[in-house]
Structure formats: structure tokens, C-alpha cells
Chain A
Amino acid sequence: KNEVEQSPQNLTAQEGEFITINCSYSVGISALHWLQQHPGGGIVSLFMLSSGKKKHGRLIATINIQEKHSSLHITASHPRDSAVYICAVQAASKLTFGTGTRLQVTL
């Protein structure tokens, strides 16, 4: 079993839909990161969380430390949101990555 599990693995949505991506982890962490990777591209850090909730534009990330679970929400999704979203947990200076959720938003 992976230390970081994401669901779903693949997600297709229509423009405007509300999207949720889930991440569960089984190890002790100091923080959880949500990252975005466009096809063939580098990685962009979206959020780093150690508790509670963060919001940036149409993106919202939450974490429940007791349940070892985090969610990434995208409101009013747009085709430019199409990318792979990766959850990564941090312990000391190292990140352990989930396998990613491939999101496709269609018109």
C-alpha cells in the first residue's frame, strides 16, 4: 500500500463543475502539499498545509490531521485547469508523492 493515496486517478468534468480530489496518507507528516503539473511541464506548488483550510482564487485545500486526509477543490472549473494534480506529504525535508489525479475539463 502506498503511503500517499489519491482518488480519483482520472477525472473528466465539464466547464463550470465543482471538482474534488482526495488524498489520504498513512505516515506522520509536518505538512501536505498540493502540486499541479501540466502535460510535459514542470511542477507548480499550489498549497502547503499543516492544518485547516487555504483558499487561492478558485482553489480551496483542506486538511484533517486526525483523519490523515486532505481535499483539493476547484470551483467553476475551466479547461485551463486540465492538468495532473499531485498530493505530496512532507516529513523532515523530504516529500512523498501520490501518483496524481489526471483532470480533464471540457467545454
Chain B
Amino acid sequence: DAMVIQNPRYQVTQFGKPVTLSCSQTLNHNVMYWYQQKSSQAPKLLFHYYDKDFNNEADTPDNFQSRRPNTSFCFLDIRSPGLGDAAMYLCATSGQGTGTSGSYEQYFGPGTRLTVT
């Protein structure tokens, strides 16, 4: 089945040690999103890619970076994780086309739960 896959599902990293989270999709969607969700809170958009165009949210810390080497894969890099970065990180994709104002469903991955020790 076509889907959004996130690896790993659980990641433990040390304070200050760089970590990379992975997302892949078989839906051939051109938009990919990274969200951060802390306990009992709504997901917060960090950034999204519209094809290769990177769109950063104004309040996303510089500590968070992203790469999208091709349509299928997108990575979230946390350069120096702090204790406050412990959260669930959700990847989502959407088939929204270029220049359209139409709305498309977002398909979410299962998430990666990051623990910072």
C-alpha cells in the first residue's frame, strides 16, 4: 500500500548530539511537511517542501534543518538537541499541485518519538 514511512519510530539521543529523522513516501506527492508535537499539544508546523522549494516557519529554531534529496525522501536534522526538543515528530505529504488554490488531504506518517537524555 502507498504510505508515508518514518524511521526510526523511537529515537533516543544525548543532549547536544546531532540526530536525523527520516521520512519516505510512496504516494509521489510533491509537498512534504515536518511537524513537532509535544505532549497534549497540537502539532506545530516546522517547515514544508513544495517540490524542492523549502518553506521555513518564522518561529522554527535554527537548530532544526531539513533536506529533501528527491521526491520520495525528506530528512529532519536537529543539530544540537536540547531537552525541550523531546517530542513526537510527524511527517506528512500532500498532493497539492503548483499554483492551485485547491485543498488536498495530508497523509501522515506514524511519527518518530524523540527522547533527549
Contacts and interface: CB of A to CB of B under 8 A. Distances in A.
Interface of A: 30-31, 33, 35, 40-45, 48, 50, 86, 90, 92-95, 97-100
Contact of B90 (A42, A45, A94, A99): A42
B81 interface: no
Interface in B73-88: none
Contact of B106 (A30, A41, A95): A95
B111 A42 contact: yes
Interface residues of B, number: 24
Nearest to B48: A93
Contacts of A40: 113
Interface of A is mostly: strand
Contacts of A33: 105-106
Contacts of B48: 93-94
Contact of A43 (B31, B43, B104): B43
Contacts of B103: 30-31, 48, 50, 90
27 contacts: A30-B102, A31-B103, A33-B105, A33-B106, A35-B108, A41-B110, A41-B111, A42-B108, A42-B109, A42-B110, A42-B111, A43-B43, A43-B92, A43-B108, A45-B106, A45-B107, A48-B105, A86-B42, A92-B101, A93-B31, A93-B48, A94-B48, A95-B43, A95-B45, A97-B43, A98-B42, A100-B42
B65 interface: no
Contacts of B101: 30, 92
Q: Closest 5 A-B residue pairs measured CB to CB? A: A31-B103, A42-B110, A97-B42, A43-B108, A30-B103
Given A48-B103, A95-B43, 4 more contacts: A42-B111, A45-B106, A92-B101, A98-B42
B50 interface: yes
Contacts of B111: 41-43
Contacts of A90: 103
B70 interface: no
Contact of A93 (B41, B90, B96, B109): B96
A26 to B, nearest CB: 16
